[in-house]
Structure 1
């Protein structure tokens, strides 16, 4: 019996949900969504994420840990998914225009009715 492959859009949607499962990545995208097509300094983004985590009452927030996980985990993952452009050498992140042909990449659908 042949194994059925799920449709490609299901895989893309599953990958999008995996990306959005992490609160810190949701904070990053929520902030960047308000600053489309701008170069955002990583230090500024880190400060915004820290402020949001403190507002959410996530407990003590270690700025070095936030910075390290953004740099080594979350920003590269979002860049690999095509949601952001990340220049680690220049310490900036940029939100490119979304390709109309790939609506599943739009992070906005995950914010409707949810707090980031």
Structure 2
């Protein structure tokens, strides 16, 4: 885990996709580890305005695949999360706390996200 602050351009890049903003907002609200299923549910709720149980299987699969192969790796590479692939658990790193003011300002601009 790096102690070097994350460059602001990296913060902007990471926040450039709504799924990653939802993941970061969910982690900030929970302030603890979150399962991949809970993150899938949060994305379904925000993007499709329905609970996970009512979301089409095809959409759930698309969300889970994009989390697994795109969004979680990008967040981990930037130093915002640690992801237990086997346990399917996502944990915020200390970097989330260090970058909280930047993240809060960026996430606050997306009025559809839960307040952090």
State the TM-score, normalized to the length of structure 1.
Answer: 0.73
* Structure 2 residues without counterparts, runs of 5 or longer: 51-55
CA distance in structure 1 between the partners assigned to 2:22 and 2:73 by the alignment:
15
CA shift, 1:21, in A, is 1.0
Tell me which residue corresponds to 1:28.
23
Instruction: Give the superposed CA RMSD.
Output: 2.8
Structure 1 runs, 4 residues or longer, greater than 3 Å off: 102-106
CA distance in structure 2 between the partners assigned to 1:15 and 1:34 by the alignment:
21
Does the 8 Å CA contact 1:16/1:105 hold for their aligned counterparts?
no
State the TM-score, normalized to the length of structure 2.
Answer: 0.73
Q: Is 1:48–2:42 an aligned residue pair?
A: yes
* Structure 1 residues without counterparts, runs of 5 or longer: 1-8
Q: Is 1:114–2:110 an aligned residue pair?
A: yes
Which structure dedicates a bigger proportion of its chain to helix? 2
1:68 is aligned, of 61, 65, 68, to 65
